[in-house]
Chain A
Amino acid sequence: MAVGWRHYGRIRSTATGWLDRVEIDRSRIDDTPRTYSGGMRQRLQIARNLVTQPRLVFMDEPTGGLDVSVQARLLDLLRGLVADLNLAAVIVTHDLAVARLLSHRIMVMKGGEVIESGLTDQVLDDPREAYTQLLVSSILPP
């Protein structure tokens, strides 16, 4: 919140509100993030980015390296935040299941170029380019 807020009480109550939103226990507010787990740090980072109420967010592999239970929670959280706060989001991910759940549109990139783009279900259900077909056919069934 390094954008000029001066009222400590207000900063603290906003911060507490955001900890609730990203499901971090309020009692941890005075702990250093070094003591947080990986999933908590990921959520803390999201809260830190959204606290200034941006309209556009970039996320680079937001669920990378998290165990699946934490991942599901984070996906649910992200979807809710994007819808509730009317955010525009650009996400980089290798996980096509994440892409399908979160995104409306997809751009497939290869060698520095966009090779295919369109509606998420169109690109994933009816992939046109050879590389996209390879990606989609390589998804492991759940």
Chain B
Amino acid sequence: MSAAIELSGVGKTFTMHLQGGVRLSVVSGVTFSVQPGECVVLAGPSGTGKSSILKMIFGSYRGERGSILVRDGADWVDVARAEPRAILALRRNAIGYVTQFLRAVPRVAALDVVGEPLVSAGTAKDIARQQAADMLRRLNIPGPLWGLPPATFSGGEQQRVNIARGFLPELPVLLLDEPTASLDAANRAAVIGLIAQKKKRGTAIIAIVHDEEVRDAIADDVVDVTRFATAA
């Protein structure tokens, strides 16, 4: 088995206790795999469970049924069953995750927000800052902003800080949830360039993109999520 990610029979149901215990089934029987250097795009209309699948792979949602295998070096970790500390280690070593929304500590400078994943993986602070600066430059964030906390940035700038943070560490798996949603053409192109570079280095990528131009540029395979959808 040479895949980087393997999902088989993955299903998710939410029980909403505040709505009288309604059970809301989101997806079931999700089965697909991703090879190193391959980019799989999840397609389907809003509400079909694309983001839920990404969150289950990252471990923010508990996988209830099936198995979610992610390779960490020579080992496989089943995210659906792993202990919290094992998932934390897996995130540090193997999985990057970029969402549309930046969640940053107030008062921390953009450079440190972007460099933080490197620092927590053991890179020296000044080297991490150096690499963070290169990445921010590639994503056209003006230099004077680097020392400021991103909370004050525009929406598009915050999103690019988030992309920089997600793309900076060299991890074997990258999950992208609408990374280009509110970007202009030049920055979209920059992100497409970053994704192509990651693929060349052997990163396995799962992405959600609605923009057809971006999808055509990055996708090696498209998985239609509607066939796993169970919600009405």
List chain A positions with a Cβ less than 8 A from chain B: 72-73, 75-76, 79, 83, 100-101, 104-105, 118-119, 121-122, 125-126, 128-130, 133-134, 137
Contact = CB atoms under 8 A, between A and B. Distances in A.
A70 B98 CA distance: 30
Interface of A is mostly: helix
A122 B59 contact: yes
Given A122-B60, A126-B60, A104 B88 contact: yes
Given A101-B105, A122-B62, A129 B17 contact: yes
Nearest to B104: A101
A83 B128 CA distance: 15
Interface in B86-114: 87-88, 103, 105-108
Given A105-B84, A118-B84, A133 B59 contact: no
B197 interface: no
16 contacts: A72-B105, A76-B105, A83-B119, A101-B105, A104-B84, A104-B88, A105-B84, A119-B60, A122-B61, A125-B60, A126-B14, A126-B55, A126-B60, A129-B17, A133-B16, A134-B18
A118 B27 CA distance: 22
B15 A128 contact: yes
Contacts of B120: 83
A119 B105 contact: no
A137 to B, nearest CB: 6
A130 B18 contact: yes
A121 B108 CA distance: 21
Contact of A75 (B59, B106, B119): B106
A122 B14 CA distance: 13
Contacts of B108: 76
A133 B106 contact: no
Contacts of A133: 16-18
Contacts of A104: 84, 88
Contact of B62 (A72, A75, A128, A134): A128
